[in-house]
Amino acid sequence: EADIYQTPRYLVIGTGKKITLECSQTMGHDKMYWYQQDPGMELHLIHYSYGVNSTEKGDLSSESTVSRIRTEHFPLTLESARPSHTSQYLCASRELSEQYFGPGTRLTVT
Amino acid sequence: GENVEQHPSTLSVQEGDSAVIKCTYSDSASNYFPWYKQELGKRPQLIIDIRSNVGEKKDQRIAVTLNKTAKHFSLHITETQPEDSAVYFCAANIWSGGKLIFGQGTELSVKP
């Protein structure tokens, strides 16, 4: 089924750990995005990509990095997690108009 | 830069009443305006969108209106039901363009 997938769905880790949040979509979309969102609050764009080997920083400063080696895959990495990174991370993809969101990863850094 | 302002931030209505959420955008080149609904603990999902070549679009109990001159667009929900309770986000973009610019969100609560 065409969809956008994120793993893990929930993650609790200690300060200083390196983590990678996975995002994959099966819709063949070129445009992909990462948002940071506290529950019920604004969607903050942290990274986006318009295709393979294309990545840009978003509007919200983030200590994370992304890569886009394959069209369907857009992972986000935190080299050293901190409590301030505790949030929900939503991945999204888009072609012409409608933007589809993944189910999100809820990250807690202790 | 591009900006979308959304009001109100919270809205509480009685079941059966109407709800209106308003957004203002800054980029006059924008021509695509979607609305997303995010229920508690779930992902945002598109509920309705409008392009700049029309002034209004309806889908059952929801409608969106667009005033390009004033750079305003609004979401109207009639005969609200408790299941309409959610956070609603407006957005603006050049259709097929890169980034959707989202508003700050409106938390709608429908009281039975």
| pLDDT tens for each residue of B55-84 | 999 999 999 999 999 999 999 999 999 999
Cα A13 to the chain's mean position, in Å?
A: 17
Residue B69: which residues within 8 A CB-CB, separation 6 or more? none
Residue A6: its pLDDT value, please?
98
With beta carbons less than 8 A apart as the criterion, state whether A56 and A47 touch: yes
Q: Is B43 in contact with A103 (Cβ distance < 8 A)? A: yes
Chain B (75-104) residues lying within 8 Å, Cβ to Cβ, of chain A: 87, 89, 95-96, 98-100, 102, 104
Q: Is the pLDDT of residue B95 over 80?
A: no
Q: Which residue has the tokens 């508690």?
A: B40
A92-109, pLDDT tens digit by residue?
999 888 899 999 999 999
A12-41, pLDDT tens digit by residue?
999 999 999 999 999 999 999 999 999 889
Q: Is A101 in contact with B45 (Cβ distance < 8 A)? A: yes
Residue A42: its pLDDT value, please?
94
Q: Is A101 in contact with B43 (Cβ distance < 8 A)? A: yes
Q: Is A40 in contact with B40 (Cβ distance < 8 A)? A: yes
